[in-house]
Amino acid sequence: MNYFKFEVIAKSKKSRARVGRIFTPHGIINTPNFVPVATNGTLKLIDSITTSNIGVELMFCNTYHLMVHPGTETVRQAGGLHKFINRPHPIITDSGGFQVFSLAYGTVKEELKSKGIKKHTEAVVKISEEGVLFRSYKDGSKIMLTPETSIQAQKDLGADIIIPFDELPPYHIDQSKLQKSLDRTHRWEERSLKQHLKDKNNQAIYAVVHGGIDKNLRKKSCEFLTNLPFDGYAIGGSIGKNRSEMLELINYTMPMLPEDKPNHLLGIGDLESIDACVRLGIDTFDSSHPTRCARHGQIFTSEGTVKILQNKYKLKFEPLDADCICYTCQNYTSAYIHHLFKAREMTGLALASIHNTHYMIKLMSNYRNLILNEVI
């Protein structure tokens, strides 16, 4: 039985953009699409049912956080993540690698803000060929994250798409260390795949292409990983210190990925990057950017991003976006949302989060139409 299938419906003649459909046991994901991040099994301030009602087709949950709490064994006992959080639609989980190496090295973003490479924090006890031993920030207990335990955790969670365990090296790293990190990541991904294939559990697994900003290593990574029977390919690791470096790298990488398999760009979700990357052929994007923007009062509208705390919204008795049919815009005015933000009412943050998430879903639907209509 084909529990996972990908089909390309249309390819642009003007770019590498494409429209496709990913079939999963919990439904279809139309691509290109946006994948909001529900770190702990909920979007920030939006419950699962509301998330479904917004039209979110794929949700991203973090294995690391769910291992720390409530523990993947608890989720397994609940009948899996879909049942635990009450989401009947597709879910993707990551491996925990990104979070655990962020604990060790700091994030690439922090690093690029000149905070330098962090030393191992006390949270990370040991990194070895076997994997990473770290301490839970909740109760201090030690947790071993290896390719095998990460995949087992993701089996417990039961997401439709899972991700192999990988290393996230710092941005500033010399060539030989990056090469060594890549080789280890490849060994880890292969071990992850092997573990996955022991019991597919109706799940698909996407490889994560690494190699930092070194084109030769990116090429090597694509070659290595596309020779293994992964169901899709994610682009991960350090992908550049700014958007142009990132776009160049993605432009270079995309032709090396198989066209008949879905791809995913990890952790990128700002509007400008999505606009460029859809044209480069990216199928799905995960990011917490839209909901984080919402909580800071940055509202996505058809006329650009607006700052709802500005005084000019005090008397704007119209929806956040005249063109929007989301729950927030159907029911409330900009003036009211402005007031809720001024009064520091979390209700305002929730309503803004619903709006921005809906905006992303509508935006991606528009991209699909633009591709189908040969506009882009």
Among residues 342, 365, 370, 376, which is the contact residue for its own copies, using CB under 8 A?
342
Q: How many CB atoms lie within 10 A of CB 218?
A: 23
Q: Is 286 a catalytic residue?
A: yes
- What are the DSSP calls for 316-328, one per residue? --S-S-TT--SHH
When the beta carbons of 84 and 233 are compared against its own copies, the nearer one is 84
- Closest by CA to 372, choosing from 22, 58, 8, is 8
Helix (H) or strand (E) holding 33: strand 33-36
Q: How far is the CB of 160 from its own copies (least distance, A)?
A: 19
Do 201 and 155 touch, CB atoms closer than 8 A?
Answer: yes
Interface with its own copies (CB under 8 A), residue from 24, 30, 33, 48: 48
Cβ closest to its own copies, residue 82 vs residue 289: 82
Residue 36 to residue 93: CA distance in whole angstroms: 12
Range in contact with its own copies (rule: CB under 8 A) among 118-126, 252-260, 286-294, 313-321: 313-321
Q: Is the peptide bond before 147 cis (omega within 30 degrees of 0)?
A: no
Contacts to its own copies from residues 112-151, by CB under 8 A:
138
- The verdict on whether 260 is a catalytic residue reads no
C-beta of 100: minimal distance to its own copies in Å?
A: 17
Pairing, β 263-265 against β 27-31:
unpaired
Do 205 and 192 touch, CB atoms closer than 8 A? yes
**CB 104, min distance to its own copies, A:** 22
Contact yes or no for 290/357 (Cβ under 8 A): yes
Q: How far is the CB of 74 from its own copies (least distance, A)?
A: 6
Q: Report if residue 201 touches its own copies, rule: CB under 8 A.
A: no
Residue 218 CB, shortest distance to its own copies, in Å, is: 35
Contact 28, 22 (CB under 8 A): yes
Buried b (16+ CB within 10 A) or exposed e, 222-232: bebbbeeebbb
Out of 23, 70, 179, 226, name the contact with its own copies by CB under 8 A. Answer: 70
Which residue of 5, 9, 14, 86 would you call a contact of its own copies, by CB under 8 A?
86
Count interface residues toward its own copies (CB under 8 A): 42
Pick one of 84, 165, 171, 300: the residue that binds its own copies (CB under 8 A).
Answer: 84
Query: Does residue 49 bind its own copies (CB under 8 A)?
Result: yes
71: Cβ contacts below 8 Å, ≥ 6 apart: none
Q: Which of 156, 283, 286, 321 is catalytic?
A: 286
326 contributes a contact to its own copies by CB under 8 A: no
Per the CB < 8 A criterion, the answer to whether 148 and 191 are in contact is yes
- Indicate the annotated binding residues for Zn(2+): 324, 326, 329, 355
CA separation for the pair 234, 277 (Å, rounded) = 13
Asked if residue 346 binds its own copies (CB under 8 A), the reply is yes
**What does the binding site for its own copies look like in residue numbers (CB under 8 A)?**
40-49, 65, 69-70, 74, 77-79, 84-86, 138, 314-315, 317, 327, 331-333, 335-336, 338-340, 342-343, 345-351
Residues that are catalytic: 94, 286
